[in-house]
Chain A
């Protein structure tokens, strides 16, 4: 059986926090406890007009890849609600292919 993971396209993660909040709802997590948490890198200017500013959400050990939802045939809560449509769920081999095909600003998590 394949290992499953979460793929983040951080070219298009807009930092909306929907993954964070929808995961909290799904997992009924207390204030200050996260199944996935957003971090911010930048903004800083590399050369004039060329900026780096990325948001990347990282799942924690509370993430079970939404096993219950998957069982019901639904997407993980974070993937469904992601405003940037910047998250994907699937077998790591498939996600790796998607990473390679896009070729930039992709990260995969196997929580």
Chain B
């Protein structure tokens, strides 16, 4: 790419090249774009044709960035609450005053109740994911850093499972992102098939995977198989859609393994040399013949067999696993079974198959290592760590469900101060039963919120609001998969300023320098990035700006070359040194070492009586092009495209209930109720409904009890607390039951 990343145009416009991340959110996808600044305003955002991954393409969320950046409701100065909690009364203050107030409070709580009485909450996907851990451990000094989603049901389970089974970072399908010449690179091989399991990458751009790479591959000849309860647009272009019953995924994966193993379609060489526990797995999958799996999953037996044969014989045939693995109490077993499918069919660490990174790298590694700055006895107080070792070994956080219990009971100790970084989790995003969290969080005495807009969560709880800059307004480094599989790295460049905003790392440094200066030798964000990059790559942040994008390239079959284990021996970095088809660690933690199927907590089969009252299976959380979870609802051009929360219902089922397309309906179950707008579509089974998440209404009254209408369409109020798997992972966001009826009000 061109060395000049900042160009002054003859008409006075400043053009700055950057790679996007957040806020506003998405994952670290790092799309290339040009920001045009005139008279202190962002006037236009354009795609950058030189960027090797996005190649000029840009989605509507970035194309409308000027509307977000200069939105009249955006908060661009530090604010202090001057009314009661829940009242919309604020006073602008300086950063110095904000920091003084915050530091006094942190010292007060630490001195009187111990640093563990402070909890830092972080949201999903945004850049904050790299910084809210060090904010807790290193700047504040508390062991309690919490991602509040029940069962840690987003990304964390997949990363942990991979760590235990493969001893590696995130397994991503090979889309040639490591190479400047992409699909033409001689080391690359185009996948014959890609299996997309519980995911819609075109809309979600998951964790650094550029979603439309799927389309690039399809144009070159890759065929698609989808595993999904909904037929989404990509499904209509797929060779197969295994349209399964929500929550029955693990049975399907075991059924596919059954066919592949019994028909001898697996890679003998890989199985013999690089796996542990194949015989045990073989015995286990005998319990899942295709006819039984067809009954459980509602996927026809013939289709299960046909797809299993494709997965067993197509080369390469990577499987891209989605959020459906995490949002399932039986998800650890699902993830394990999918990794087994990938491994025994010879698709691991091969060209066009599944690539694997190190368990952590760069800032992704640093964020975890900062926990060693806490004394052991303080680290031992981390909420839920002892009770849930499988979670607390891989994740440096508290256990989310235990954290809610602690807030409610004051046990093992009372939490007194909250810090919410980039998380609006009383909206239907990262919490189950957000109404219960809302009540429990009232017990906190003092709260800080870092965000860009006054969200329902900020309005309810913030005492101090610290404004975050968008990615157009601060420097940063975009790292796909947060460093767990750094396909490429991009420079995020500050192009201009709006108000007085400070980025996550800037706040970490400023607060850290006041409270724990020994951990914070850097004066600026740039110095920090220099220190992160230089030892590993020999270049600094400014060099990265000039490169624009850095693609480190990829070494295949690392397990043969001794490149995966810390001791430099061939094999995988697991207890047995092999891919663990039978897991030594799961067994040590009291779980079955082999994958098994468990029926959802609530379903037509596990709770038939309840199902009569609540006769639909409820699945939630599909993504749209126009929002990142609860973000973007206030951007006019995006709201015009997606004005309302949509629940998808099959027309036959809707007709019986007298529901027409466009009617507002209530969704209700044993736990809660909410209102969404019906969309009738045959792409969903007549016994299943799909509801949208992340809805609140920035145009509705801000103050309590409305809180921007956060409770009106809040689908997570229907999801129960602590219905999680045996190892502490996975909650049933995608497999509940409910009834649906027309809203007369």
Interface of A with B (CB < 8 Å)?
11-12, 14-18, 21-22, 24-25, 31-32, 42-45, 49, 51-53, 55, 75, 77, 80-85
Q: Which of A15, A31, A43 contacts B683 (CB 8 A)?
A: A43
Q: Which of A22, A32, A51, A80 contacts B236 (CB 8 A)?
A: A51
Given A53-B233, A80-B49, A81-B47, A12 and B60 touching (CB < 8 A)?
A: no
A8 CB to nearest B CB, Å:
14
Give the distance in Å from the alpha carbon of A24 to the alpha carbon of B637 in the complex: 10
**A31, B640: Cβ atoms closer than 8 Å:** yes
**A44, B682: Cβ atoms closer than 8 Å:** yes
Beyond known contacts A16-B202, A81-B47: 10 more, CB 8 A cutoff: A17-B626, A21-B63, A22-B63, A43-B233, A43-B236, A45-B682, A51-B236, A80-B46, A83-B58, A85-B57
B55 partner residues in chain A, CB cutoff 8 A:
85
Interface centre among A12, A16, A82, A83 (most CB of B within 10 A): A83
Interface-facing stretch out of B213-221, B286-294, B316-324, B731-739: B213-221
Q: Which of B47, B218, B625, B636 contacts A16 (CB 8 A)?
A: B625
Question: How many residues belonging to B are interface residues under a CB distance threshold of 8 Å?
Answer: 35
**B215, A85: Cβ atoms closer than 8 Å:** yes
22 A-B residue pairs with Cβ-Cβ distance under 8 Å, sorted by A, are A11-B237, A14-B202, A14-B212, A14-B234, A16-B60, A17-B626, A21-B637, A22-B58, A22-B63, A24-B637, A25-B44, A25-B63, A43-B236, A43-B683, A49-B241, A53-B233, A53-B236, A75-B49, A80-B49, A83-B58, A84-B215, A85-B216
A11 partner residues in chain B, CB cutoff 8 A:
237
Interface centre among A16, A42, A82 (most CB of B within 10 A): A16
A81 partner residues in chain B, CB cutoff 8 A:
46-47, 56-58, 63
B625 partner residues in chain A, CB cutoff 8 A:
15-17
Give the distance in Å from the alpha carbon of A52 to the alpha carbon of B661 in the complex: 20
B235 partner residues in chain A, CB cutoff 8 A:
51
CB closest chain-B residue, reference A23:
B63
- 10 nearest A-B pairs in the assembled complex, by CB-CB distance: A51-B236, A53-B236, A21-B63, A80-B56, A21-B60, A83-B212, A81-B58, A83-B57, A17-B60, A16-B625
For residue B64, CB closer than 8 A to chain A, the reply is yes
B403 CB to nearest A CB, Å:
37
Interface of B with A (CB < 8 Å)?
44-47, 49, 55-60, 63-64, 202, 212, 215-216, 218-219, 231, 233-237, 241, 625-626, 636-637, 640-641, 681-683
B237 partner residues in chain A, CB cutoff 8 A:
11
Q: Which of A14, A51, A75 contacts B56 (CB 8 A)?
A: A75
**B57, A14: Cβ atoms closer than 8 Å:** no
Give the distance in Å from the alpha carbon of A23 to the alpha carbon of B681 in the complex: 30
Give the distance in Å from the alpha carbon of A17 to the alpha carbon of B60 in the complex: 7
CB closest chain-A residue, reference B637:
A21
B216 partner residues in chain A, CB cutoff 8 A:
85
**A12, B57: Cβ atoms closer than 8 Å:** no
- CB contacts between A and B, total, < 8 Å: 86
A12 partner residues in chain B, CB cutoff 8 A:
215, 218-219
Give the distance in Å from the alpha carbon of A77 to the alpha carbon of B218 in the complex: 24
Given A12-B218, A21-B64, A84-B212, A43 and B682 touching (CB < 8 A)?
A: yes
Give the distance in Å from the alpha carbon of A53 to the alpha carbon of B640 in the complex: 22
B245 CB to nearest A CB, Å:
17
**A18, B215: Cβ atoms closer than 8 Å:** no
Give the distance in Å from the alpha carbon of A83 to the alpha carbon of B63 in the complex: 12
**A14, B236: Cβ atoms closer than 8 Å:** no
Give the distance in Å from the alpha carbon of A15 to the alpha carbon of B237 in the complex: 13
B682 partner residues in chain A, CB cutoff 8 A:
43-45
Give the distance in Å from the alpha carbon of A53 to the alpha carbon of B219 in the complex: 18
A55 partner residues in chain B, CB cutoff 8 A:
233
Give the distance in Å from the alpha carbon of A32 to the alpha carbon of B640 in the complex: 9
Give the distance in Å from the alpha carbon of A49 to the alpha carbon of B233 in the complex: 13
CB closest chain-B residue, reference A45:
B682
B214 CB to nearest A CB, Å:
9
Give the distance in Å from the alpha carbon of A51 to the alpha carbon of B234 in the complex: 11
B275 CB to nearest A CB, Å:
35
**A14, B215: Cβ atoms closer than 8 Å:** yes
Give the distance in Å from the alpha carbon of A77 to the alpha carbon of B231 in the complex: 31
Give the distance in Å from the alpha carbon of A52 to the alpha carbon of B236 in the complex: 7
B637 partner residues in chain A, CB cutoff 8 A:
21, 24, 31
**A18, B202: Cβ atoms closer than 8 Å:** no
Give the distance in Å from the alpha carbon of A11 to the alpha carbon of B55 in the complex: 20
Interface centre among B47, B49, B64 (most CB of A within 10 A): B47
Give the distance in Å from the alpha carbon of A107 to the alpha carbon of B44 in the complex: 29
**A82, B236: Cβ atoms closer than 8 Å:** no
Give the distance in Å from the alpha carbon of A23 to the alpha carbon of B49 in the complex: 17
A77 partner residues in chain B, CB cutoff 8 A:
46
Give the distance in Å from the alpha carbon of A31 to the alpha carbon of B647 in the complex: 26
A54 CB to nearest B CB, Å:
9
B49 partner residues in chain A, CB cutoff 8 A:
75, 80
Q: Which of B45, B59, B231 contacts A51 (CB 8 A)?
A: B231
B61 CB to nearest A CB, Å:
10
Give the distance in Å from the alpha carbon of A84 to the alpha carbon of B57 in the complex: 8
Give the distance in Å from the alpha carbon of A17 to the alpha carbon of B627 in the complex: 13
Give the distance in Å from the alpha carbon of A53 to the alpha carbon of B232 in the complex: 9
B200 CB to nearest A CB, Å:
10
CB closest chain-B residue, reference A43:
B683
Interface centre among A18, A31, A52 (most CB of B within 10 A): A18
CB closest chain-B residue, reference A80:
B56
**A17, B641: Cβ atoms closer than 8 Å:** yes
CB closest chain-B residue, reference A14:
B202
**A31, B636: Cβ atoms closer than 8 Å:** yes
A66 CB to nearest B CB, Å:
12
Given A12-B218, A24-B637, A31-B640, A82 and B57 touching (CB < 8 A)?
A: yes
B641 partner residues in chain A, CB cutoff 8 A:
17
Q: Which of B44, B57, B241 contacts A18 (CB 8 A)?
A: B57
Interface centre among A15, A22, A42 (most CB of B within 10 A): A22
A85 partner residues in chain B, CB cutoff 8 A:
55, 57, 212, 215-216, 219
Interface centre among B231, B236, B241, B681 (most CB of A within 10 A): B236
